[in-house]
A = this chain, B = another copy of it.
Amino acid sequence: MPASEAVEQQEQPWSRRRLRSTNERLLLDRLRGLGAASRAQLARETGLSKPTVSSALASLAAAGLVHEVGTHAPERGRTAVLYAPDPAAGYALGVDIGRGWLRVAVVDLDGTVVARADVRNRARASAALTDLVVATSRQVIVNSGVDPAEVVHGVVGTPGVYDEKQRRVRYAMHLPGWGRAGLVDHVRTELGVPLEVHNDANLAALGEYTYGVGAGSRLFAYILIGTGLGMGIVGEGRLFTGAHGLAGEIGFLPWHGRQKPERLEDAVSGVAVVEAARQFGMRGQLTAKAVFDAARQRHPAAVRAVELEGERIAHTVAAAAAVLDPDLVVLGGGVGHSVDLLLRPVREHLRALTPLRPRLAPSRLGEDAVLLGAVATALDTARDLVFERRTAGT
């Protein structure tokens, strides 16, 4: 999925202007990594000369992208003036449209959340849902106290896959009406913010990579177990989306169930846990959460249902491990706080299934993974945008 058009790289020749720009970018990125640094320090680390660093940093400061942020007294010698990126040079919007909850956050360029809202999603029609998304986002932007024009980019997470050509979300079975064409365009124009749409599992994976347990992994898979089943794959910090953006749609993995071959998604999702528990003899109004709670109390049928769920997930992990060779697999999603119950059975079944055993970990971000992933993705683009427009004038 291409980013906003504004960032699109036109294949410029390598003129001097581009050289300058590249060096400024180098300094800005280094500064983000370091938090704050003096000009002399930057010169040492980048290999650029001190005068060059001074002048480039002056340009960046004039454009409002960096600012003085304090001083540092070295062992001896003159005190250094420290520079840091200005977090207020732009803002990004993250939205997580889930079946149960709608979550919205505005972050500054440092990635600090300046405003956030979590509201129940009771919308059962497309109009209601888009209205809710627009209203909540507007409200969050207002609450943040940020000039709406400074929110330069947004990312929306949703089940399914966004089809650029048909301008609609596909395969989002659990959000009634959300598959209609033009809905995203409607939200975009209403908010006046450039929007990208990404799969929720993919964003959760990016969130877990940026802020969570996936940090530093060379290649990891995030398995989102909830109303649906999805997997996000992150390699070297970038999302792996496949040829049509369907990579990680492990709901389609072949799975030989007890009776007949069926879709894996039907066997692993939350509904399946309930169904299994009922088959094993549980009675009453059941939800996935109820089954996990019962298992925690050692209710025999619930324990068996959880065990079965673990076996199914192990199958998924084994397939992903053989094909992808990740160094880490993260379990997360609506099963959320129940992941601890699943880890042991998954590990056990995995031992029987395959000699490849990637590290297995529960999500650190829990329910926030998708939102934080959306925010991290939006931030990436927002930083580019803010840097690009630096010359163009406001």
Chain A contacts to B: CB under 8 angstroms: 11-14, 16, 19, 22-23, 26, 46-48, 217-220, 231, 235, 240-254, 256, 261, 264, 315, 318-328, 352-356, 358
- In the complex, 26 of the A-B residue pairs with CB atoms within 8 angstroms, ordered by the A residue number, are A12-B47, A13-B48, A14-B26, A14-B48, A219-B243, A235-B240, A242-B326, A243-B327, A244-B327, A246-B325, A246-B356, A247-B325, A248-B323, A249-B322, A249-B325, A249-B356, A252-B322, A252-B356, A254-B315, A254-B322, A254-B354, A256-B256, A261-B353, A319-B322, A320-B323, A324-B324
- 10 tightest A-B contacts by CB? A242-B325, A243-B327, A13-B47, A246-B325, A247-B325, A252-B322, A219-B243, A254-B353, A218-B243, A253-B322
Q: Are B243 and A355 in contact (CB under 8 A)?
A: no
Closest chain B residue, CB of each to CB of A317: B254
Residues of chain B lying within 8 A (CB to CB) of residue A16: 19
Complex Cα distance A246/B392, Å? 46
A359 CB, nearest partner CB in chain B, Å = 10
Considering only CB atoms, which chain B residue lies closest to A10 in the complex? B47
In the complex, the chain B residue whose C-beta lies closest to that of A13 is B47
Neighbouring B residues of A219 by C-beta, 8 Å: 242-243, 247
Complex CA–CA separation, A327 to B241 (angstroms): 12
Out of B23, B320, B327, B328, name the residue touching A13 (CB < 8 Å): B23
Q: What residues on B are CB-neighbors of A12 within 8 Å?
A: 47
A245 contacts B325, CB within 8 Å?
yes
Are A253 and B217 in contact (CB-based, < 8 A)? no
- CB-nearest residue of chain B to A326: B243
A319: B residues at CB distance < 8 A = 253-254, 319, 322-323
Q: Establish whether residues B323 and A323, one from each chain, have CB atoms under 8 Å apart when the complex forms.
A: yes
Q: Is the CB of A323 within 8 A of B250?
A: yes
Partner of A247, one of B11, B241, B323: B323
- Contacts A13-B46, A320-B323 aside, 11 further interface pairs with beta carbons under 8 A come to A12-B47, A217-B243, A219-B242, A219-B243, A242-B326, A246-B356, A247-B323, A249-B325, A253-B323, A319-B319, A324-B324
Which chain B residue has the least Cβ–Cβ distance from A243? B327
Closest to A20 in B: B14
| A254-B320 Cα distance, complex, nearest whole Å | 10
* A244/B323 in contact, CB under 8 A: no
Name A252's contact: one of B14, B19, B235, B354 (CB within 8 Å): B354
